[in-house]
């Protein structure tokens, strides 16, 4: 891994950790100020916006990162088309807000969708700006800007407005504020990497085919991410959507942020070595190793302490989220590693293969979620997690074939994290048995401290016990001499 890559990954990883911790704290506060139904209304509204934003971009931001011979005229055309389509999507969202509310069976969306339509422009600009920064490997700017905007919106607006009784509007206003704050930060800090929007027909023809493939892949990915929420809202109910979306976000948001870290940092770096199969294969193995080392133990911990996490963070009114959270935790690795596979294919220009795989993933999730929705949110969580796992297996086989990575090497890179995850789950179970009857926050704290100590001890004795050979290579490049206490190899 290059020095620039290491700096980008370490900084973005630090921002990811900070945001995850802040998210837990902010969620703990908001969950006591808002009801599951209020969360359900906001969740349904953000589904509409997220899908619209994805359509508006048409895969063009990824073209900025992936295309080898990108000129300023291409950048101007991408910015122009993104903003133009965003304007069209905003109009459509405003006009059809009533139909959207009827389809999702959430009456409040009639007004909320219209208000959120104004955020389309800011979101379109932010995607292009982030892509320009990623292409120039300016990960520190993008990750810091994103964290700053998110924190200001949620701490400065969502919590106070929820406390004042603005219900789901607290979340809606915070979301819009985040988009405009981020746009302002990008304008002031990343101006030298941006190009004034302008349309050039030849530039559009140059990127049209590539952006179409990326658009299909991106749109399918977004729909597969939200189709279960759509079905829960339509078939089960808004209150259940609030519970389901909170469970999903607690587990899936950190994994999505980690996946976005892979997309924003690793994708542009692998795009630069797309014709060197050996380096691609090495990067792929490191991606799987680091992903498994970070997610396997986390999955084991969340699955073991799901009850304590829900009661401590959300409170007693959210007990129905325990089973979905435990279920979603099992699929954390598959969510993140699925994006690793996507990075491998996209960085080598196989956008249509990526689109095909995203459609397969969408169909699996949609079919299984549809069949399970009548049986409640627990059944949907199981079905969706199973679909994600199956999709990953198919995608991994496809990407391994592309880079000529052997099945044996693929399996072996997961063995150390899997063994460590088993140790985490067994340790957590013992702690729960010994502390049975004590308050849930105390049990959670004790489990966190003991398992955290176990992890630190394992890394001190021999880091490869958790990260494996390839994961250790990544950590060595990230930590350098700053972590001399870590025993990379046995003494």
Q: Is the dihedral of CA 379, 381, 383, 386 positive or negative?
A: negative
Tell me the Ramachandran region of residue 197: left when phi exceeds 0, alpha when psi lies from -120 to 50, beta otherwise. Answer: beta
The verdict on residue 399 lying in a domain is yes
Pseudo-torsion of CA 304, 307, 313, 319, nearest 10°?
A: 150
Classify residue 44: in a domain, yes or no. yes
Instruction: Please indicate, yes or no, if residue 484 is contained in any of the structural domains.
Output: no
Distance CA 218, CA 41 (A): 25
Q: How far apart are CA 6 and CA 480, in angstroms?
A: 10
Neighbours of 95 (CB within 10 A): 12
From the DSSP assignment, how many helices (H) and strands (E) are in the chain? 23, 0
Per the model's pLDDT, the better-predicted residue between 237 and 61 turns out to be 237
Nearest-angstrom CA–CA distance, 55 and 49? 10
pLDDT at 488 over 50: no
Beta-carbon contacts of residue 10 (< 8 Å; ≥ 6 apart): 478, 479
Domain with 285, as residue range(s), is: 3-479
The residue with tokens 């959270």 is: 325
The model's pLDDT over 400-435, given as tens digits with 9 standing for 90+, comes to 888 888 888 889 888 888 998 999 999 999 999 999
Lowest mean pLDDT across 279-283, 394-398, 480-484: 480-484
Position 451 in a domain: yes
User: Is there a domain that residue 341 lies in?
Assistant: yes
What is the rounded distance in angstroms from the CA atom of residue 199 to the CA atom of residue 105?
Answer: 40
Compute CA distances 302 → 55, 207, 260, 307, whole Å: 34, 43, 21, 9
Residue 281 belongs to some domain of the structure: yes
CA distances from 369 to 39, 47, 231 (A): 21, 16, 7
Give the dihedral sign, CA 462/463/465/468. Answer: negative
Residue 486 falls inside a structural domain: no
**pLDDT value for 449:** 94
Q: Which range is least confidently modeled, 220-229, 261-270, 340-349?
A: 261-270
Share of the chain above pLDDT 70, in %: 79
Tokens for 142? 């993008």
Q: For residue 489, is it within any domain? A: no
Residue of 347 and 405 predicted with greater confidence: 405
Residue 481 has pLDDT above 50, yes or no: no
Number of domains the chain is built from: 1
């Amino acid at each position: 891994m290059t020095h620039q890559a290491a700096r980008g990954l370490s900084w973005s990883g630090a921002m990811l950790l900070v945001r995850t911790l802040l998210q837990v704290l902010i969620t703990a506060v908001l969950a006591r100020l808002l009801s599951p139904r209020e969360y359900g209304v906001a969740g349904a509204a953000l589904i509409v916006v997220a899908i619209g934003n994805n359509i508006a971009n048409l895969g063009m931001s990824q073209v900025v990162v992936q295309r080898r011979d990108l000129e300023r005229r291409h950048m101007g055309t991408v910015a122009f088309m993104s903003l133009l389509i965003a304007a069209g999507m905003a109009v459509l969202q405003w006009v059809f807000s009533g139909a959207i509310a009827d389809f999702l069976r959430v009456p409040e969306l009639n007004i909320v969708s219209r208000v959120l339509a104004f955020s389309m422009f800011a979101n379109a600009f932010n995607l292009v700006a982030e892509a320009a920064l990623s292409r120039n490997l300016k990960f520190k700017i993008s990750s810091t800007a994103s964290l700053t905007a998110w924190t200001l919106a949620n701490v400065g607006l969502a919590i106070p407005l929820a406390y004042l009784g603005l219900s789901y509007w607290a979340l809606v206003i915070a979301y819009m504020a985040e988009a405009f704050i981020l746009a302002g930060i990008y304008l002031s800090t990343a101006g030298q990497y941006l190009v004034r929007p302008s349309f050039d027909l030849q530039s559009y023809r140059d990127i049209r085919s590539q952006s179409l493939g990326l658009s299909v892949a991106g749109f399918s990915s977004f729909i597969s991410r939200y189709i279960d929420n759509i079905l829960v809202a339509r078939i089960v109910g808004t209150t259940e959507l609030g519970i389901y979306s909170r469970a999903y976000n607690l587990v899936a948001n950190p994994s999505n942020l980690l996946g976005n870290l892979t997309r924003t940092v690793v994708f542009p770096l692998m795009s630069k070595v797309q014709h060197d199969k050996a380096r691609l294969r090495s990067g792929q193995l490191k991606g799987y190793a680091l992903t498994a080392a970070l997610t396997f133990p986390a999955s084991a911990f969340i699955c073991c302490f799901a009850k304590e996490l829900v009661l401590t963070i959300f409170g007693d009114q959210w007990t129905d989220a325990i089973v979905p959270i435990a279920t979603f935790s099992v699929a954390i690795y598959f969510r993140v590693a699925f994006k690793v596979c996507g990075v491998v294919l996209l960085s080598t220009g196989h956008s249509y293969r990526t689109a095909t795989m995203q459609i397969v993933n969408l169909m699996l999730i949609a079919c299984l979620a549809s069949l399970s929705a009548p049986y409640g949110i627990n059944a949907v969580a199981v079905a969706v997690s199973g679909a994600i796992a199956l999709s990953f297996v198919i995608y991994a086989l496809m990407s391994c074939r592309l880079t000529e990575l052997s099945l044996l090497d693929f399996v072996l890179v997961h063995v150390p994290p899997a063994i460590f995850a088993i140790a985490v789950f067994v340790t957590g179970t013992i702690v729960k048995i010994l502390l049975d009857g004590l308050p849930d926050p105390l049990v959670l704290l004790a489990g966190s401290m003991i398992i955290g100590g176990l992890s630190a001890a394992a890394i001190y004795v021999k880091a490869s016990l958790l990260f494996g050979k390839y994961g250790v290579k990544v950590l060595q490049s990230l930590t350098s001499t700053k972590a001399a206490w870590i025993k990379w190899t046995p003494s």
